[in-house]
């Protein structure tokens, strides 16, 4: 029986792999840029694939660009236990986001193999393709693909350089002609476990190394396009202007106010990308396109904030003589973790942390691959403390000991599920 704080996993190997992967797409001293389906992403996948094979897993890249490593179980017909996360990053990202979930899962399964244990059901470790959504403006591609949830037109989405997802996927080694064959049948996945940095300040503020996730807030992603009329900045009187950027500024400010309108609520609203046409200092902006990211664990409250935002959009466009179009890119409801897996995690975390210390339980504002898998199987997540809550930034940091504890809890939970 493991004692409090003792590790079964090989922590030195885990940290070495985290550091080695971080060298691919390295950005400055501590950051990474491995955009989905890019050469850097592929280089990272090939490296992790080699580690999977060294560990004794059968590894492959599927039609959607997912990297899958499989350990065969004694009863191959049972629904599989799946573990993993992603290794693609934001353009201005950190080395821990997603990566510790993939490498921690690999470490957990490799430890099981080295102890001479064969699980009852098969276990798969997955590095999902394009969780982030930053390159093609729609995330969770690989996990939605394998579960049959892709939407029409996704392969024709273009990045900032005009490269379509289809083109990038084919170069990466994916194959749209095999999509149907590589989808998992209903019931094939029994449960999913994901280890991830918190990407928020709760655990750091409470000085807790890890936490158990209760659920994932539902993200709504919109793309808004406002159209006015260009004119000379020096000659068109202010009352006669149809300035799309002024309208956008009003709407963006309103989103911020709406997200803050209920004290203590976890509602968040963000405009993270904005483009202006013609983008000249002495021309009145004719067209502005911007993104909206609205999230909440309470779907009724999120729906109310969306309704209020759309009312503001309509009013602003009438006032400024603008037309508008809104495209919905992502719309997911909040999804809650399986109580029975959380109970196992709670028990194992209490043993691991010692002194009868119960782990912190908290919701996730960011979405994860778990969100898509929640529609096909039970899932649970472990969060690791993230210094000052900083993420999607090269300053993102998780302490080695915290990562070790998270990976150990993942291992112990996996063992319990394999025996169940």
What's the pLDDT tens digit per position in 15-38?
999 999 999 999 999 999 999 999
pLDDT tens, position by position, 360-384: 999 998 889 999 999 999 999 999 9
Do 213 and 224 lie in one domain? The reply is no
Residue 16 located in a structural domain = yes
Do 173 and 211 lie in one domain? The reply is yes
Among 288, 306, 331, the domain boundary falls at 331
Do 310 and 347 lie in one domain? The reply is no
Residue 304 located in a structural domain = yes
Mean pLDDT of 173-197: 97
Residue 44 located in a structural domain = yes
Residue 6 located in a structural domain = no
- 99 pLDDT higher than 60: yes
Q: What CATH number corresponds to the domain at position 230?
A: 3.30.70.360
Among 331, 363, 392, the domain boundary falls at 331
Counting the structural domains of the chain, the total is 2
Question: Which residues are annotated as part of the binding site?
Answer: 86, 97, 132, 196, 392
Do 96 and 155 lie in one domain? The reply is yes
Strand order in the sheet with 31-32: 26-27, 31-32, 93-94
- Whole-model pTM: value is 0.85
- Do residues 123 and 74 lie in contact, with contact meaning Cβ atoms separated by under 8 Å? no
pLDDT tens, position by position, 130-156: 999 999 989 999 999 999 999 999 999
Do 68 and 171 lie in one domain? The reply is yes
Question: Which residues are annotated as part of the binding site for Zn(2+)?
Answer: 86, 97, 132, 196, 392
In percent, how much of the chain has pLDDT > 70? Answer: 99
Q: Residue 85's closest CA among 70, 69, 65, 104?
A: 104
Q: What CATH number corresponds to the domain at position 368?
A: 3.40.630.10
- Do residues 345 and 378 lie in contact, with contact meaning Cβ atoms separated by under 8 Å? no
Give the whole-angstrom CA distance, residue 67 versus residue 58: 11
Q: Residue 419's closest CA among 103, 81, 184?
A: 81
pLDDT of residue 54: 98
> Structural domain of residue 303, as residue ranges?
218-331
Do 129 and 212 lie in one domain? The reply is yes
């Amino acid at each position: 029986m493991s004692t409090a704080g003792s590790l079964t996993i090989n922590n030195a190997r885990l940290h070495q792999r985290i550091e080695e992967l971080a060298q691919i797409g390295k950005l400055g001293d501590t950051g990474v840029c491995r955009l989905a389906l890019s050469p850097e992403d592929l280089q990272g996948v090939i490296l992790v694939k080699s580690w999977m094979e060294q560990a004794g897993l059968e590894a492959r890249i599927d039609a959607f660009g997912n990297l899958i490593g499989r350990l065969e179980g004694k009863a191959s017909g049972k629904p599989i236990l799946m573990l993993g996360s992603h290794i693609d990053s934001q353009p201005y990202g950190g080395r821990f986001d997603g990566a510790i979930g993939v490498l921690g899962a690999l470490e957990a399964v490799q430890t099981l193999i080295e102890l001479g244990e064969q699980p009852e059901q098969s276990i798969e470790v997955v590095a999902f393709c394009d969780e982030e959504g930053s390159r093609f403006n729609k995330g969770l591609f690989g996990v939605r693909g394998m579960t049959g949830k892709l939407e029409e037109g996704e392969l024709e989405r273009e990045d900032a350089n005009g490269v379509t997802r289809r083109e990038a996927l084919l170069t990466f080694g994916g194959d749209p002609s095999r999509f149907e064959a590589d989808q998992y049948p209903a019931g094939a996945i029994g449960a999913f476990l994901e280890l991830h940095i918190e990407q928020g300040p709760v655990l750091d503020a409470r000085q807790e190394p890890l936490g158990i996730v209760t659920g994932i807030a539902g993200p709504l992603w919109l793309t808004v396009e406002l159209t006015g009329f260009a004119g000379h900045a020096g000659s068109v009187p202010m009352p006669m202007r149809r300035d799309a950027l002024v309208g956008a500024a009003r709407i963006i400010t309103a989103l911020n106010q709406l997200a803050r309108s209920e004290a203590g609520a976890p509602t968040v609203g963000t405009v993270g990308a904005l483009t202006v046409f013609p983008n000249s200092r002495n021309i009145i902006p004719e067209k502005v396109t911007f993104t909206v990211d609205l999230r909440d664990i309470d779907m009724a409250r999120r729906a109310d904030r969306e309704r209020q935002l759309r009312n503001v959009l309509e009013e602003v466009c009438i006032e400024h003589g603008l037309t508008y179009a809104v495209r919905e890119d992502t719309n997911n409801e909040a999804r809650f973790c399986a109580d029975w897996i959380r109970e196992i995690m709670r028990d194992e975390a209490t043993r691991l942390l010692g002194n009868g210390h119960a782990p912190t339980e908290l919701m996730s504002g960011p979405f994860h691959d778990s969100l898509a898998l929640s529609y096909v199987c039970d899932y649970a997540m472990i969060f690791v403390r993230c210094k000052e809550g900083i993420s999607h930034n090269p300053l993102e940091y998780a302490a080695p000991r915290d990562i070790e504890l998270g990976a150990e809890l993942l291992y112990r939970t996996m063992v319990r599920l394999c025996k169940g």
